[in-house]
Amino acid sequence: MPEISVKDQLKKIIELQKIDAEIYELRARLKEKPVVLGELKERFEERRGTLVGLEEKLKAVQVQRREKELELKTREEEIAKANAHLFQIKTNKEYTAKIAEIEHIKADKSVIEEKILLAYDEGDQVSSAVEREKSAFAQEEKSYLAKKKEVEKEVKIIEDRIRVLESQHKQGVEGIDPEFLSRYERILKHKGGLAIVPLHGNTCGGCYMNVTAQQINAFKMNDQLVICEMCTRIIYIEDDM
């Protein structure tokens, strides 16, 4: 097999760079997707937490109301029992004491009744808030699931595209000198997916620093890889490719 010239290998590396640049860009997008999904889920769970909190509050209000209703029933029974006992009392002193006791129980009963009414009012308010939150939660859930499905679809498309590009990458490395390829891949890894750049006038297309006349002459010779002294990327002259 005839030896491939440095110029032809540069052409191969340039084409390889197009493939690898897209792979790097797609992998960066893939890394963002879990973050997006995490933010969506966090907002969804916050909405769920609000609903759960309101439902628990409603249960607590209902429990307290039932307790007060039982307490009210107890007071009513105490009043009935005390009233029945009045007919058995023989002295004015005992009668006066029993009446005072009944009035005290009635006062407690009145306070309990007021608390029950307040509990009903609070229950109605919380119940309305629960219904509103259920509606909002249903919308949030619908939106979350739709966005989640959309993101998962995007992830699959990106992963499928990466697999195609990786296959193209394997084909693209054929015929490239192992030493050249190794250097290219090291630069690619450390320079964010951009390993080979064109010369713009007398500046590097990667870091935009001036390139020496000696290096420019080396480009034109096309007999070796020329590396930018500042950013260490491979440089080539577009007109020569």
Residue-level pLDDT, tens digit, the chain, 241 residues:
456 788 888 999 999 999 999 999 999 999 999 998 899 899 999 999 999 999 999 999 999 999 999 999 999 999 999 999 988 888 999 999 999 999 999 999 999 999 999 999 999 999 999 999 999 999 999 999 999 999 999 999 999 999 999 999 999 998 899 999 999 999 999 999 999 999 988 899 999 999 888 877 877 776 678 889 899 999 988 866 5
Which among 17, 109, 101, 8 has a CA at the least distance from the CA of 68? 109
Spatial separation of the C-alpha atoms in residues 167 and 19, rounded to whole Å: 10
CATH of 22-174, one of 3.30.420.40, 1.10.287.1490, 3.60.150.10, 1.20.120.160: 1.10.287.1490
Burial (0-12, 13-18, 19+ Cβ within 10 Å), 196: buried
Spatial separation of the C-alpha atoms in residues 137 and 145, rounded to whole Å: 12
Q: What is the pTM of this model?
A: 0.67
- Tokens encoding 72: 């009210």
What are the boundaries of each domain within the chain?
A: 22-174, 177-241
Find out whether 47 and 136 touch, Cβ atoms under 8 Å. Answer: yes
